[in-house]
Amino acid sequence: MRTDSLPTLDARKRPRQARSQATVDTIFEATIQVLLAEGLPRLTTIRVAERAGVSVGTLYQYYPQKQALLFAVLQRHLEQVARTVDEAALSMHGATLAQMVRTIVTAFVKIKTQNLAESRALYAVATELDSREYVQSIKQRNRAALEAMLRTASDARFADISTVTFMFAGVMIGPIQVLLEGEPTPEMLKLLPEQLVSVCLGYLEREALRPA
- In the complex, the residues that contact a copy of itself under the rule CB under 8 A are 1-3, 36-42, 117, 121, 123-124, 127-128, 130, 132, 135-136, 139, 163, 166-167, 169-179, 181-183, 188, 191, 195-196, 198-199, 201-203, 205-207
131 binds DNA (CB under 7 A): no
Residue type for 4, please?
A: D
- For the chain, the residue count is 212
Question: What is the b/e burial string over 99-109, where b = at least 16 CB atoms within 10 angstroms of the residue's CB?
Answer: ebbbbbbebbb
20 binds DNA (CB under 7 A): yes
Comparing CA positions, the residue from 56, 61, 72, 80 lying closest to residue 10 is: 72
How far is it, in rounded angstroms, from Cα 98 to Cα 159? 19
**Among a copy of itself, DNA, none, residue 37 binds (CB under 5-8 Å by kind):** a copy of itself
Alpha-carbon distances of 197 from 10, 37, 205, rounded to whole Å: 37, 34, 12
115 binds DNA (CB under 7 A): no
**Among DNA, a copy of itself, none, residue 5 binds (CB under 5-8 Å by kind):** none
Among 66, 76, 93, 143, binds DNA (CB under 7 A): 66
Q: Measured from the CB of residue 72, what is the shortest distance to DNA in angstroms?
A: 13
56 binds DNA (CB under 7 A): yes
DSSP 6: P
Comparing CA positions, the residue from 6, 15, 1 lying closest to residue 131 is: 6
65 binds DNA (CB under 7 A): yes
Which is nearer to DNA, 25 or 87 (by Cβ)?
25
Which is nearer to a copy of itself, 94 or 188 (by Cβ)?
188
Question: With 0-12 CB in 10 A as exposed, 13-18 as middle and 19+ as buried, what is 73?
Answer: buried
Instruction: List residues binding DNA (CB under 7 A).
Output: 13, 15-17, 19-20, 22-23, 41-46, 53-58, 60-61, 64-67
